[in-house]
Chains A and B, each alone.
Chain A
Amino acid sequence: MLLFRRDLLRVNPIKHIGRRKITTSSFLTGINAPVQSYISRSNDPYLNLSIEHYLLTHTPPDSTILFLYVNRPCIVIGRNQNPWLEVNLPLLRQEHERHQGHINNPIEAGNTDAETNCQPAEEGQLIDLVRRRSGGGAVFHDLGNVNWSVTCPPALFTRDKHADMVAQALRSLGGSRVSTARVNQRHDIVIDVRNENRGYKSAKVSGSAYKITRTRALHHATCLLNSEYLEDIPRYLHSPSKESIDAKGVESVSSEVANVRVSFDRFREAVRGEFEEMYGASGGVAELQTVGDELLEIEGLRKGYTELQSLEWKYLQTPQFTVRVDVPDSKGEGNFFQLRVRHGLVEEAAVLNQHKEVVEGFENYLGQRLHEISDWSRVYEYVGKDLADLEMLTGGHEPGQFQIVGKVE
């Protein structure tokens, strides 16, 4: 029986362990070792992904590196994904706006959508939208989820090799739940959990993604230990614009998920042990070294950190897509408003008829960044009514980004 108090889980499980902390200069020497293992004391997803990317690009081609980190609650999408399609941007936006005290914003007041009807977010609990550099689909991270990664030479790399390593680590912990851990055909780790009929079904506990460069291969993955957000995940990863968007790029495959219900310390020791068994013979480092924001002293790492946080990376990196919203038949039967978006910029904004001929163009939107557009009044004037589907296209939650319409009381 496991019960969790929210305030306990807010504590970073890594901060309180007495691992060996290293300085930036000893880190820069250490990254030349053949086998290395690190653990981050930061919960900052941008920092952790940047440390990981620095290790991918700056460690010797024949070295192998283990890295463990835990992020604060955030949604992490794959490099070639579309945030409008994968993420509930209006929900993120509303949480951020509420937090900023923009409660009287008329846009929000008029929005009675049940999907965005949520409690005001608390300080430090706002959810970030993060785009990683590796492939794959959208996942949710929180303090009850640990991320593990292994960077190795491409010649040693297979998609299953290190997932098998972690599945073995989980099985080694014993207990009826984790003893069923195995890697499925999607390279995810699954376990057996009880289904409604007192039988068993498999549920995903760890999802993988990869980044392969000229000389290196990175495999990183989540592992749900004791996430408190399992029931909330579908709400955050369901886009209300899904039906209106036709996109290139990578769409997520949703799976039923479960927690392994293993403590962070036990997971860490089991994975470290398996990693050591696999690579320790080549003169391995047994002890995990603790890293954190001091590494931002390294210019290359800081540069990647800044890039990951930029709205250009989050939104403009999106593969091209088209938004199509029906307009009232009074403007001609089968007419629809269409936006073509390339590199996050509006390339076409027009009402088309059923033969896909332009009936009315809206040149004022051309070249604009879709995530920054909050004023669709030109379209509304033409169509004769507001279109909720367009309101939902404004970006998620970047402070100060939004035009406040009307008087804030």
Chain B
Amino acid sequence: KIYSEDHEWIEVSEDGKIGTFGISTYAAERLGDIVYVELPELSIDIQAGEAIGAVESVKSVSDLLSPVSGKVVQTNAAVEGKPATINQSPEGEGWIAKIELADKGELETLMDEDAYVKFIKEES
């Protein structure tokens, strides 16, 4: 599992083709109670860093930014029905979408868990 500076995580499948992404535990805690998730559109091509959906918590709409480029192949209907799942399990059941990776090289720009923990400490 690796992390972006925008507090998203991505976990790549064993064959290296599909990345599952969501928001980090730190981000979920900072957002507070999530009441609505606007999931990415299926089958659209996306660029790394692009806003592909949004979450709403405590009167705030926050963009969901894709950590990688590629195509959205699946979204998590469970979080649409029950947005609190993201608060309960941001890096597990609360995943947001699966993306078919366009450029594996992009993964190298992301942080491993240790680097991310350090990044959060510096940021706050």
Contact = CB atoms under 8 A, between A and B. Distances in A.
Interface of A: 78-80, 133-137, 155, 159, 187, 208-214, 248-250, 319-320
B60 A212 contact: yes
Nearest to B49: A214
Contacts of A211: 60-62
A212 B63 contact: yes
A209 B92 CA distance: 29
A249 B61 CA distance: 12
Interface in B17-60: 35-36, 38, 49, 51, 54, 56-60
A137 B6 CA distance: 26
Nearest to A319: B36
Nearest to A132: B61
Contacts of B65: 214
B62 A212 contact: yes
Contacts of A187: 58-59
A62 to B, nearest CB: 15
Interface residues of B, number: 19
Contacts, number: 60
B63 A213 contact: yes
A211 B58 CA distance: 11
Contacts of A213: 51, 63
24 contacts: A78-B59, A79-B54, A80-B36, A80-B38, A133-B61, A135-B57, A135-B59, A136-B60, A159-B58, A159-B60, A209-B59, A210-B60, A210-B61, A211-B61, A211-B62, A212-B60, A212-B62, A214-B6, A214-B51, A214-B63, A248-B80, A248-B81, A249-B36, A320-B80
A320 B63 CA distance: 19
Interface of B: 6, 35-36, 38, 49, 51, 54, 56-63, 65, 80-81, 123
B36 A134 contact: no
Nearest to B60: A210
Given A134-B60, A210-B60, 18 more contacts: A78-B59, A79-B54, A79-B56, A80-B56, A134-B59, A135-B61, A136-B60, A159-B58, A159-B59, A159-B60, A210-B59, A211-B61, A214-B6, A214-B49, A249-B35, A249-B36, A250-B35, A250-B56
A155 B123 CA distance: 8
Contacts of B35: 80, 249-250
A135 B60 contact: yes
A137 B81 CA distance: 20
Nearest to B83: A248
A141 B13 CA distance: 50
Contact of B61 (A208, A212, A248, A319): A212
Contacts of A155: 123
B81 to A, nearest CB: 7
A378 B61 CA distance: 40
A315 to B, nearest CB: 16
Contacts of B59: 78, 134-137, 159, 187, 208-210
A134 B61 contact: yes
Q: Which of B6, B60, B80 has the most CB of A within 10 A?
A: B60
